[in-house]
Structure 1
């Protein structure tokens, strides 16, 4: 007999428990989802639902009709289109207009402004429940806040009394990802149904749950995407431009900002979740067919969440699948693609704040067209977690998408309503266990002593804690704590304990006996992803993120509960210094800045957006140019001293030069009457061309005439491949496995201008995939010279003697002649160039003059100390290799980062590498080593 995997057995057990729960609906689906018998149907709207649904099996009894109301308007009444209508995408303001009309007409609805985007657009949240519940919203909120903070309650009896009087809040967020377009219309119609429908199924939700909705989280991107869709409708026979910009700064990565909280969208959603005392964040996305509930995931789960949450994920996810399968909807599944390790996702902010994180991926068409879709075999394969898979091909519409999203949400809301008291008890229990964490699993606290030389970075880290709603205290007097050693399975001290430690007065203390201790612990602790954990070929996202390390700060993990009794006071909100002082650069730094350009491609603006955001945040002036702009400017050096070429997102050198294929019609990205929201950050008549050979020649000329070009990751690879970095090469690897990890590095030359202001100590850096460099004193491919393999001549440590006389470490002595000593092989370190002997230097036109040789500034640590946080396998292939190199080209230089120094607002400790290079651009371009300005 075949035995099911444990995870499958657990999943099906949860499904069975969901079915067996006494609160479940009747087996008779018709009765469970029955309409209100005395409520009229909006015949026109219901007919249009049927017309835009491409197959009756792609709708459910919850969404195949719309109840009528004499007073409350439908989306058709306000906007002229039903939700999911073909050919119509509303702008964010239109979505908001509908919800305000709903509020005006129904006492069951309230609309709140929760903030504004980086470009000033309004973001809203809508609360929907019974009229009496809405009228008592503030009182309910007060009770929820007490349940969220167990320190305000005297006993368990007090909590139980509050639970009996309180309704939970289920927070739904839509349109975070701007190319995933269906959720705003689905949420408009869902809002109407919750406000109007008198069916018992809906009344049960409305009377026992407050549904909170933010229909468009990324409002800037929504409006740009709507522009693009309207352009597509006006030019139906042409390819439409890709969405170059979503939000002002980043695109898809706005769903990776749940740690550093740099974006307005992240802060607004968390503030709303905490402010309303919500129990759930349910974020709506689009990709997999037909509805993938990734609530459950496959693990490894984030190590800092409460185990109670894992059970809640299973309950909600499997019930969702079971109920929609009962309705006959194909392609509803869970478990399969997501690991739930990183806390960076928007919905995961609930998981780290004692709530429940949920996310749907519903099938979408990148707009409101109806399209024939052909699935790949792995998409429609039947598996244990997808027993009723999607169809192998389907005519898919925006209405189908809306049917699935609404049906999924209504079944989730109904299950939550039926079990409201239980989820509230869990919410309070998780909050209480978060407070108790300091004395149970620990640690007791995280402590950061004041470091005047790192005041800016410390303020930035404290600001992250504030944005996460974490309390920070300051010691009133010094205290000595004991951190007993923790021993691993081998009985050895793990080495992470500091033993007896004296903490100075004024030190910052992040106590773990507070409601949101888990997010602080998750961000400050280190992470370890075992190389043997092969549930995925590639983890879903970054595997390491320890912020203390990435901010280059000493933050101590204190396990001694005595810290909790130490006299301390609540710290005021941090004040992050303005400008470059926020990364601890001197006051003179801003005055010494050169002329800077930040260059982007039209292939992707995602990763450079993080760089652009930090330039703006630190008030550093720069010109924003594209690779097309340098094609038209033969004298870049007259305009700029430094060109920053941030990572593009794994583009090849050929793509950067060529751009997109030039067949077809131009792809404009500019402001017009049809597209009023695009072309404001940058514009072009045609997105397709890259820099071309002319642009490359102009870039070469810029560097040769004394300019500094800064590159990172794939743009560093580009610079190497086009000959801008002679003597620098990408280290080839075979077994190396790194996925967004934190690695330890060391400075090679503390006198180099790029090292200015750093301590002579290891620096933790972010590596996305383990890129590293090796350098050579020759400019041949791979650094090869006579008698060499890749990287130059053979090193002494790698030499293996041939067969001959003597032992392993003896030398061979040929017979019939006098013995002669061999020329010593070089014994250089892996980050150093292989020195050339006289034979290899003689008449070697490829040998790089000493003044033009590349210089290694930062190198990775040795293999056994390389990993700080995350996943690392095959460490020997990157250990002690170069991480940051300065290459010479003509009178100028190219700075190459194998790491990304500016990543998701979390790598503050490496920011200074970049800004040191900018500030000292003249010194960086000179071969002589000199002391940088400080």
Structure 2
């Protein structure tokens, strides 16, 4: 009786609080000619309202989908991971009950078939469907409900044949944290009367709900894999290596329905053109079975590309699968008026659901061709490897084992074989040392994926890119790497695959005098944060020194952290315990010093000019109000998640309300960083008078150089404005408009490693990711203010017109200057782009910890 009463209250509440116009029973979504098992719980019976009536909370969706999986012997479910906010990520395997009983054998047979081995003729097709990678894109997420209900409850001969022929893999949902943020937004702003006005706030929640907890676009994570959601799903993807991957999204509300194959010219050359042909064949199933009979508008070969291999619809194509992108005009608030009429969320869910069914049917109809394509893909990859003059890549990150191991972990998540180097190798004029270097053979199934990660590409058939054009990951990781062109017989490699496990440092000895830590390790900033958070005094070396330790003499580079016993409130035993934690949990080698005396003249550990005090940073990170949320999120993740540093998040326009005396650093990221006059005045007073440090990146750096130093970019006077422009055809506009855009490419810079921002780097070359055209202006009165500069021939990977390359060459990549008692550090690029540049990440950490060490030029210098 209580359950009936509760159901009645839920139904009454739904009727009172929402519009029935967008609510639809499950029968609205289902194909008309399919019978359904009445014993399987419908969504409305579980939720107490119909799909489209109100947003479906993640916990309710999880409970319902687990419930119907328990009711059906066709569906198995497992939790494959958890988000930052500890929400579960569910993975469903859907097939016939008979197939479920032999699912491991089916997977083994499918993978054997990819290797060209014989497999039973009845081995099912393996198909994958992505639901909900973007939290703001509601129909893709909610479509998981009718899809799984359909396969659980459909009760006719056709569904039996379909499930006998296929294994269907679903992740629901890909982005639980973003999904929950969207639900909260819509419920916060719902109206009793459904508001269809696009201006209403209920419809406007793009980036905020699109992203995960740290504001990452998870659809850019398939290659980079820094977030837990992507790490969870990529493991299952490679466990199965599906033949087709359908990827469901939303776009602007006025847009018609879109599905791949996309733009013909915008295909990564590592992807076979045959993939596009087969994708088009499956697309014909959408049109013939659903879209054309209902007279729906759609488009299939415009606007979207298959170039960047880190997106959910392109990554499968570089791994032997077909990737199919679906985009539909959004109705996030339920109903919205557009220039193509009223768009409803329920109808969008129906479209996404029905095209999931036609994707399955389309794949079944070209079964033999799919099998042949996927098998031949890997055969052709082996042939490409045999023709490739590069037999392997060798790489290292000398002085920073975690950076090399992190790259190994990334490669292994992409199912790429990596081996530890067991004998020194000489290549490109340097020695790769055994024990700290790794080898990636080119002759393996993932040959094309290896090339997609390692290749430096700078020439393209077309200059329009939906996403970044360059992403060479060894450069992003600041690795030393070389291609090996000889045979591999002379290369001594481990027999077992390397896994890149985190390496703890040796347990440090008890120090007679104090402790020293090298700054070159990835987690040295995290270790320093532990030290300062424990209220210990710490000093950083500004010069290389030779230290006397319990294990002999050790060479310490610039930035090495010295923790003396002198003047500490903590006992020696507790200090040693903290150093043991640093060695075991951060992997940073801790040296036990026996003396403060060094053989370096004037550079003893007590020398005030050599070892400078390091203060605990109190960081303000501004976000929103014109600032790019992605950039802010990448900064937040780096400082908070990677280095466990306390960060205070403040909306940009609320900066005027903070107590500036509580903070040491302000970070302004790309976007519109312009501050109000009053806030700008406060910031300048804080820098000049209180010794604060402003770190500004991308567009914020361009704004700040004018705001605080009155420097402006010079107008381009290379063209005579009186000249008549060349007459062009509108058909050429898209290509010509994009000619000088830098959508995302890697550029080479030269670093002054003696500058505080250069501490801990192994060499002077640093790759940075650049996605804007503005340049920083070189200070006229300080020859030391440019610690990082673009080289004369800076393009490493990706697209940039020659004009842009010439404009950027030789300009500052970082400007670091004193302003009164404080510092202003301007970075032309985002040093932590997509959390995948551990090389330039150190620039940020150095800017936070070592900014007080930036010196002001006081001499008289002649112009060069």
User: 1:646 is matched with which residue: 669, 679, 687?
Assistant: 669
1:838 corresponds in structure 2 to none
The structure-2 alpha-carbon separation of the partners of 1:868 and 1:419, relative to structure 1 and needing over 3 Å to count, comes to closer
Residues 841-883 of structure 1 show CA distances to partners (whole Å, capped at 9, x for unaligned) of: xxxxxxxxx57x9822222122x45444433331222221111
The question of whether the paired residues in 1 share the 8 Å contact of 2:34 and 2:156 is answered with no
User: 2:641 is matched with which residue: 617, 625, 628?
Assistant: 617
2:800 corresponds in structure 1 to 871
2:9 corresponds in structure 1 to none
Q: CA deviation at 1:228?
A: 0.7
Q: Which runs of 5+ in 1 are unaligned?
A: 1-50, 151-155, 375-392, 482-497, 658-691, 777-832, 834-849, 930-934
Residues 244-296 of structure 1 show CA distances to partners (whole Å, capped at 9, x for unaligned) of: 35545444622111222101121111111122342232111011633200333
The question of whether the paired residues in 2 share the 8 Å contact of 1:733 and 1:877 is answered with no
1:558 corresponds in structure 2 to 484
2:696 corresponds in structure 1 to 711
1:239 corresponds in structure 2 to 201
* Structure possessing the higher relative contact order (Cα contacts under 8 Å, 6 or more residues apart): 1
Q: CA deviation at 1:416?
A: 1.0
The structure-2 alpha-carbon separation of the partners of 1:711 and 1:444, relative to structure 1 and needing over 3 Å to count, comes to same
1:631 corresponds in structure 2 to 656
User: 1:371 is matched with which residue: 336, 348, 356?
Assistant: 336
- SS for the counterpart of 1:446 is strand
2:15 corresponds in structure 1 to none
Q: CA deviation at 1:330?
A: 1.9
The question of whether the paired residues in 2 share the 8 Å contact of 1:744 and 1:765 is answered with yes
User: 1:724 is matched with which residue: 682, 686, 708?
Assistant: 708
User: 1:80 is matched with which residue: 48, 55, 72?
Assistant: 48
User: 2:256 is matched with which residue: 283, 290, 298?
Assistant: 290
Q: How far apart, CA to CA, are the structure 1 residues paired with 2:96 and 2:267?
A: 37
2:39 corresponds in structure 1 to 71
The question of whether the paired residues in 2 share the 8 Å contact of 1:296 and 1:313 is answered with no
The structure-2 alpha-carbon separation of the partners of 1:451 and 1:136, relative to structure 1 and needing over 3 Å to count, comes to closer
The question of whether the paired residues in 1 share the 8 Å contact of 2:697 and 2:826 is answered with yes
The structure-2 alpha-carbon separation of the partners of 1:582 and 1:90, relative to structure 1 and needing over 3 Å to count, comes to farther
The question of whether the paired residues in 2 share the 8 Å contact of 1:250 and 1:605 is answered with no
- SS for the counterpart of 1:702 is helix
Q: How far apart, CA to CA, are the structure 2 residues paired with 1:164 and 1:582?
A: 53
Q: CA deviation at 1:404?
A: 1.3
1:121 corresponds in structure 2 to 87
User: 1:192 is matched with which residue: 149, 162, 182?
Assistant: 149
Aligned length: 708
1:572 corresponds in structure 2 to 498
1:519 corresponds in structure 2 to 449
Within 5 Å, give how 1:125-524 maps onto structure 2: 125-148=91-114, 150=115, 156=116, 159-160=117-118, 162-199=119-156, 201-234=158-191, 239-240=201-202, 242=205, 244=208, 246-251=210-215, 253-287=217-251, 289-367=255-333, 369-374=334-339, 393-441=340-388, 443-448=390-395, 450-478=396-424, 505-506=434-435, 507-524=437-454
Residues 124-181 of structure 1 show CA distances to partners (whole Å, capped at 9, x for unaligned) of: 0122222211222222122223334x2xxxxx5xx23x15141122111111111110
- Normalising by structure 2, we get a TM-score of 0.76
Residues 667-715 of structure 1 show CA distances to partners (whole Å, capped at 9, x for unaligned) of: xxxxxxxxxxxxxxxxxxxxxxxxx444333212211121111010122
1:762 corresponds in structure 2 to 765
The structure-2 alpha-carbon separation of the partners of 1:434 and 1:118, relative to structure 1 and needing over 3 Å to count, comes to farther
2:618 corresponds in structure 1 to 596
The question of whether the paired residues in 1 share the 8 Å contact of 2:664 and 2:692 is answered with yes
The structure-2 alpha-carbon separation of the partners of 1:176 and 1:770, relative to structure 1 and needing over 3 Å to count, comes to same
The structure-2 alpha-carbon separation of the partners of 1:442 and 1:54, relative to structure 1 and needing over 3 Å to count, comes to farther
1:786 corresponds in structure 2 to none
Q: CA deviation at 1:62?
A: 6.2
The structure-2 alpha-carbon separation of the partners of 1:179 and 1:464, relative to structure 1 and needing over 3 Å to count, comes to same
- Normalising by structure 1, we get a TM-score of 0.70
1:583 corresponds in structure 2 to 522
User: 1:775 is matched with which residue: 775, 778, 785?
Assistant: 778
Q: CA deviation at 1:455?
A: 2.6
2:462 corresponds in structure 1 to 533
Q: How far apart, CA to CA, are the structure 2 residues paired with 1:118 and 1:303?
A: 36
Q: How far apart, CA to CA, are the structure 1 residues paired with 2:693 and 2:715?
A: 23
The structure-2 alpha-carbon separation of the partners of 1:53 and 1:620, relative to structure 1 and needing over 3 Å to count, comes to closer
2:60 corresponds in structure 1 to 94
The question of whether the paired residues in 2 share the 8 Å contact of 1:249 and 1:613 is answered with no
The question of whether the paired residues in 2 share the 8 Å contact of 1:471 and 1:570 is answered with no
Within 5 Å, give how 1:3-22 maps onto structure 2: none
The question of whether the paired residues in 2 share the 8 Å contact of 1:442 and 1:512 is answered with no
- SS for the counterpart of 2:747 is strand
Say whether residues 1:899 and 2:829 are aligned partners.
Answer: yes
Q: CA deviation at 1:464?
A: 1.5
Residues 573-630 of structure 1 show CA distances to partners (whole Å, capped at 9, x for unaligned) of: 2134689765375897444463231422233522111111111233242232313553
The question of whether the paired residues in 2 share the 8 Å contact of 1:581 and 1:587 is answered with no
2:543 corresponds in structure 1 to none
Q: Which runs of 5+ in 2 are unaligned?
A: 1-19, 505-516, 532-613, 719-738, 860-864
Indicate the RMSD between aligned Cα atoms, in angstroms.
3.2
- SS for the counterpart of 2:36 is coil
1:781 corresponds in structure 2 to none
Residues 446-501 of structure 1 show CA distances to partners (whole Å, capped at 9, x for unaligned) of: 111x45324332222222112222221123435678xxxxxxxxxxxxxxxx5x99
